[in-house]
Amino acid sequence: MANIEDWQKAASKEVKGKDLTWQTPEGIAVKPLYTAEDVSVDPGLPGFAPFTRGVRASMYAGRPWTIRQYAGFSTAEESNAFYRRNLAAGQKGLSVAFDLATHRGYDSDHPRVVGDVGKAGVAIDSVEDMKILFDGIPLDQMSVSMTMNGAVIPILAFFIVAGEEQGVARAQLDGTIQNDILKEFMVRNTYIYPPEPSMRIISDIFGYTSREMPKFNSISISGYHMQEAGATQVQELAFTIADGMEYVKYGVASGLDIDKFAGRLSFFFAIGMNFFMEVAKLRAARVLWHRVMTQLGAQDERSKMLRTHCQTSGVSLQEQDPYNNVIRTTIEAMAAMLGGTQSLHTNALDEAIALPTDFSARIARNTQIVIQEETGMTKVVDPLGGSYYIEALTQELVDKAWEIIERVEAEGGMAKAVAAGWPKAMIEEAAAGRQARVDRGEDVIVGVNKYRLASEDQLDTLEVDNMAVREGQIARLKWVRENRDETKCRAALNALTEGAKTGGNLLELAVEAARHRATLGEISDAMEIVFGRHGTHPTPVRGVYSAYYAGDARYQQVLDGVEAVTRRLGRAPRMLVSKMGQDGHDRGANVIASAFGDMGFDVTSSPLFQTPEEAAKLALEADVDAVGASSLAAGHKTLIPELIRHLREAGRSDIKVVAGGVIPPQDYDFLREAGVQGIYGPGTNVVEAAADMLRLLGHNMPPAGEELAAAE
């Protein structure tokens, strides 16, 4: 029988001595062959500690994972109709996406959210909206997941009251609220209050739900947004587990018995395109959670059992050749299933461009149904268990993530680490490195930097009429305020403010306010009076992007171009990278700011959540040559033309305005007519975007060289 030395000789001969070891972004050296000698830990059996092979003995052989598609569109009526269609077509649970105004605690009539209402999710201003959202959907029979963090108190209060008025007792409500504020401060940024009162809110929700809602999961600790922001799988794994530890410690410190609430904690992970890494990541997560909960003193094995929802990657979806996204989502769905997820959302093919249509949402949902019904993959529990590679990779991830967790704990826990900023900086460095590898063609994306089509047909996309949605919401808000008992409503809101000052369960107080038809903005404001509103200013990393381009001819051309413009202007070209509206996803903006800074531009990063007027004022104060407006949440047709109008009214129509992010090609002409001079969607090569900016600033930048053309 051949031994490992025989294999090494044969393989080396076949590839002429080339080293086949793969260095992953996580710093893991993946060998081309794994054997029994690489497996050092017995993974045990499914349903038994430390749950490496799954939290249930029978897993999908007994019951498949829950198909839980994440969706919310414009109004409660539209979303309700969409949910009903999906449930009729085989979906098993609901997952609600809220619009950004709702996330940030603003009613739809607030002047800061003109471009955000109904975009990227459903607008919920009061109990009346929540009742419409679940009209005809029995809340005593349907598990409901709600992705909400900043405005978690009013949204959960509305859900509880909507259930009551549907005749469903709180104890019967089943589902999950995300309620994960630490990751908001790290990557997603849809926070409202500062960290300390935000953590108090989480403890109050733990206390209320453990007492009143025994079937409800009081938190979904989310790594998803970390990976979407650029984190490696090791970073996502480590910081998510560390966040969970912090929440448990806060719950215990508030007087709760760990085994009374820990069993209702759940997790949420991203599933990207590194197939085996993602399978191993979910297995490693279960091992790590069992370890940390044992250390924190949990006695009940259910408290140590990591249950998770997963969602296929949004950042892996591409605007170019978008039907490839169906293939990507299918591969990612299989990784989630083989890793042992409890529920799954599969992204639609058009989500790199716009909100999904019914057509694309059906394909996404049916991806899961086909895997469950046609493939036979659910017939065997943990079919990859015992794979030399999977078991070795699982242990490698456990060890590497544990190193980061130990650093977090040594520095006082995740809340202090987030305040210090180093986890966010680590993730941004990984994001900049990933973008550079893609731009250089080292990380292949089919249809983007390799096998690119000469021309592409446009997809039909869904567009939300933002102004019509806002007008409808304002009308309903007016009706709610006119028909409530104002005295009782004000008394309940005052009691909430007093509770924020002196103690008392904030969720319990908010439920009372919701019963008296206090709005989301009013409930949020009642706490903001005491807690204040949190704000941060991005500080992009430097030097990461340039390190990948040392010696690159095209990159040097851009550096030379920046130097030439600097000589002509007597200073470096100045650029403002702006995030307007309530969208806190800042990966793209930070990558651009980091890369352009490395290339010699004088870059100003705006604070998050700016209005067009505030962005224009900052552009004037910084005396910039250009503004790069970053868009993700579909507010570009409202916000960017407004920015251009303010610049023109100030007499600075010479300032170039360009746009980047998730912008449907159908909107390009609209934006160009409004005065946008460059549009850069997902998959844009950042070096070429910089070259284009130099042309806009009057430099005769040569076209991309033969090396770039060959890479494409």
Q: Which of 103, 119, 183, 225 is catalytic?
A: 225
Strand-pairing partners, residue 294, are none
Rg from Cα positions in the chain: 25
Nearest to 496 by CA among 110, 153, 195: 153
Nearest alpha carbon to residue 243 among 195, 208, 211: 195
CA-to-CA distance for 601 and 254, rounded, in angstroms? Answer: 49
Annotation marks residue 110 as catalytic = no
106 is catalytic: no
Q: Can 585 be counted among the known catalytic residues?
A: yes
How many other β-carbons are positioned within 10 Å of the β-carbon of residue 309?
A: 28
- Sequential DSSP letters for 318-332: -SSSTTHHHHHHHHH
CB atoms closer than 10 angstroms to residue 315: 19
Catalytic annotation, pick one of 31, 34, 38, 70: 70
Contact between residue 405 and residue 236 where contact means Cβ atoms under 8 Å apart: no
Residues whose CB falls within 8 Å of the CB of residue 706, separated by 6 or more in sequence, listed in order: none
Cβ neighbours of residue 307 closer than 8 Å, sequence gap 6 or more: 55, 266, 267, 342
Between CA 356 and CA 364, with CA 358 as vertex, the angle to 5 degrees is: 65
Q: How far is CA 269 from the centre of its chain?
A: 10
Active site residue 193: no
Catalytic-labelled residue, pool 583, 598, 625, 667: 583
**CB contact burial 156-184 (16+ within 10 A = b; e otherwise):** bbbbbbbbbeeebebebbbbbbbbbbbbb
Of the candidates 424, 516, 585, 637, the residue annotated as catalytic is 585
Q: Are 299 and 210 in contact (CB under 8 A)?
A: no
Q: What tokens appear for 135 in the block?
A: 């009209």
**DSSP-assigned letter for residue 633:** S
CB 122 within 8 A of CB 79: yes
Residue given tokens 């100045």 in the structure block: 574
The active-site residue out of 60, 191, 208, 224 is 224
Active site (annotated) includes residue 103? no
> Of 344, 384, 339, which Cα lies nearest the Cα of 367?
344
Catalytic residue among 183, 579, 656, 699, which?
579
Has 583 been annotated as catalytic? yes
Catalytic residue numbers? Answer: 70, 224-225, 579, 583, 585
